[in-house]
């Protein structure tokens, strides 16, 4: 009837739990709960014996007053916060065993998932680069490309004077930048260089990794390298910033 | 009624640490045997209160040298009791107003 050894173990466990684990308290064991019920029945029986009941009838009465012991244990199990964890771990184990029984299915599933995830990642990367973040500028949605087309011939390019006129139209745009592309050769490397107006970086506001861009204050021509060109021509050397090329 | 047992337990523990069987007895006696708690229902409730940190528990020895799990009120349990008590007092007062004075003495 008495199992003092087991109860001592339960007590030690509870004490550890109370002292060591403050937030993620160790889950109270079923044994501990069962011990508590047993202790209750003993105490109640003691009291009834004190009131004049015989030993056997006192235990019986204590059990009757307690009600359904199995139900109490079940409720204890259900009130515990970790019930889902118990079941989750069991599900995982079951799943693992099932997979191990059919390795070819296991392998097929893993490969299928790998390919699927890889493709999705790739598709999203492309979508992200071309649709979600097309330009690394301050407000891509407000960016417009102005074209010029005559009725007789095809496209026409803007001349500098046209640009200056457009730039004065503050009622239409927050800022107007001019850009033209030229292929240049630098130290036997062919480069695509964008010749841009001096307000280019102020207006578009892309991020700069090193050094500075240029502003409308600059008198001397300034070159800004793209990250790609910097890595390709100078192998990412930080000392290229500053000296005049 | 939901929450009744919680308040009764917290109230009982206000007088000091007590084990489950003692709590059951105290509730019965302090309510003039009006409130009978099935002892089995007490323990899941104690467990719930313990998980909400309103009471704390540790194994100890009872006055007649039995091992028992003693519960005591925590600080937040005390606060909870104050809030719940005033709620129950208001509810009880409202009920007695609605029911009116006793018409026939029993």
Mean pLDDT, to the nearest integer, of B2-25?
Answer: 87
A213 contacts A201 by C-beta, under 8 angstroms = yes
Among the listed ranges A51-65, A165-179, A210-224, which one has the minimum average pLDDT value?
A210-224
Mean pLDDT, to the nearest integer, of A67-96?
Answer: 78
pLDDT given at position A166: 77
Q: Is residue B105 in a domain?
A: no
Among the listed ranges A4-8, A121-125, A168-172, which one has the minimum average pLDDT value?
A4-8
DSSP chain A: ---HHHHHHHHHHHHHHHHH-SSSPPPPPHHHHHHHHHHHHHHHHHHHHHTT--HHHHHHHHHHHH--HHHHHHHHHHHSTTHHHHHHHHHHHHHHHHHHH-HHHHHHHHHHHHHHHHHHHHHHHHHIIIIIS---SS-GGG------B-SSSSB-PPPHHHHHHHHT-TTT-S----EEEEEEEETTEEEEEEEE-TTHHHHH----SSS----TT--S------HHHHHHHHTT-GGGSSS--
Partner residue facing B44 (CB), from A4, A43, A79: A79
> Which SS3 state, helix, strand or coil, does residue B6 take?
helix
Among the listed ranges A46-55, A211-220, B18-27, B50-59, which one has the minimum average pLDDT value?
A211-220
- pLDDT tens, A130-144? 777 656 666 667 777
Nearest-Cα distance to chain A for B66, in Å, is 7
Partner residue facing B39 (CB), from A14, A66, A80: A66
pLDDT given at position A26: 52
Q: Give the mean pLDDT of chain A.
A: 74
ipTM, two decimals: 0.79
pLDDT given at position A180: 76
Cβ distance of B66 and A39 shorter than 8 Å:
yes
Q: Is residue B28 in a domain?
A: yes
Partner residue facing B39 (CB), from A65, A76, A79: A65
Cβ distance of B48 and A79 shorter than 8 Å:
yes
Give contacts of B47 with chain A, Cβ < 8 Å: 28, 33, 76, 79-80
Cβ distance of A67 and B41 shorter than 8 Å:
yes
pLDDT given at position B6: 87
Residue B10 belongs to domain with CATH number = 1.10.10.10
Instruction: Say how many domains are in chain B.
Output: 1
pTM of the model: 0.46
Higher pLDDT, B92 or A222: B92
Cβ distance of B43 and A37 shorter than 8 Å:
yes
Cβ distance of A28 and B47 shorter than 8 Å:
yes
Cβ distance of A79 and B47 shorter than 8 Å:
yes
Give contacts of A35 with chain B, Cβ < 8 Å: 67, 69
Burial A23-51 (b: 16+ CB within 10 A, else e): eeeeebeeebbbbbbbbbbbbbbbbbeee
Report the chain A residue with the minimal C-alpha distance to residue B20.
A40
Nearest-Cα distance to chain B for A107, in Å, is 43
C-alpha A155/C-alpha A194 separation (Å) is 20
pLDDT given at position A9: 42
Cβ distance of B38 and A18 shorter than 8 Å:
no
- pLDDT tens, A106-129? 999 999 999 999 999 999 988 887
Partner residue facing A71 (CB), from B20, B40, B47: B40
User: What is the domain extent for residue B88?
Assistant: 4-98
Count chain A–chain B contacts defined by CB atoms under 8 A: 79
Nearest-Cα distance to chain A for B38, in Å, is 6
> Measured between CB atoms, does B28 come within 8 Å of chain A?
no
> Measured between CB atoms, does B69 come within 8 Å of chain A?
yes
Mean pLDDT, to the nearest integer, of A96-101?
Answer: 90
């Amino acid at each position: 009837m008495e199992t003092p050894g087991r109860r001592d173990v339960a007590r030690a466990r509870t004490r550890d739990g109370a002292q060591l684990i403050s937030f993620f308290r160790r889950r109270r064991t079923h044994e501990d709960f069962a011990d508590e019920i047993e202790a209750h029945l003993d105490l109640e029986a003691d009291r009834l014996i004190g009131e004049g009941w015989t030993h056997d009838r006192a235990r019986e009465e204590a059990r009757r007053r307690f009600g359904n012991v199995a139900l109490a244990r079940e409720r204890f199990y259900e009130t515990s916060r970790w019930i889902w964890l118990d079941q989750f771990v069991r599900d995982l184990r079951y799943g693992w065993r099932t997979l191990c029984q059919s390795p070819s299915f296991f392998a097929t599933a893993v490969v299928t998932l790998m390919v699927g995830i890889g493709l999705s990642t790739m598709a999203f990367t492309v979508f992200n680069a071309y649709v979600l973040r097309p330009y690394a500028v301050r407000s891509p949605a407000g960016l417009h490309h102005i074209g010029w087309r005559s009725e007789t011939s095809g496209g026409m390019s803007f001349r500098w004077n046209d640009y200056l006129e457009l730039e004065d139209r503050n009622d239409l745009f927050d800022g107007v930048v001019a850009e033209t592309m030229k292929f240049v050769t630098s130290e036997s490397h062919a480069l695509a260089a964008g010749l841009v107006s001096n307000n280019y970086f102020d207006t578009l506001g892309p991020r700069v990794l090193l050094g500075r861009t240029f502003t409308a204050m600059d008198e001397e021509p300034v070159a800004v390298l793209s990250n790609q060109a910097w890595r390709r021509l100078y192998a990412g050397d930080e000392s290229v910033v500053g000296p005049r090329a | 009624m939901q929450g009744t047992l919680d308040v009764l337990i917290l109230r009982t523990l206000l007088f000091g640490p007590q084990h489950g069987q003692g709590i059951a007895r105290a509730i019965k006696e302090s309510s003039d045997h009006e409130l009978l708690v099935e002892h089995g229902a007490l323990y899941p409730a104690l467990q719930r209160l313990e998980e909400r940190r309103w009471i704390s528990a540790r194994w100890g020895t009872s006055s007649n040298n039995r091992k028992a799990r003693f519960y005591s009120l925590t600080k937040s349990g005390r606060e909870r009791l104050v809030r719940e008590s005033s709620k129950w007092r208001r509810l009880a007062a409202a009920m007695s107003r609605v029911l009116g004075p006793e018409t026939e003495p029993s």
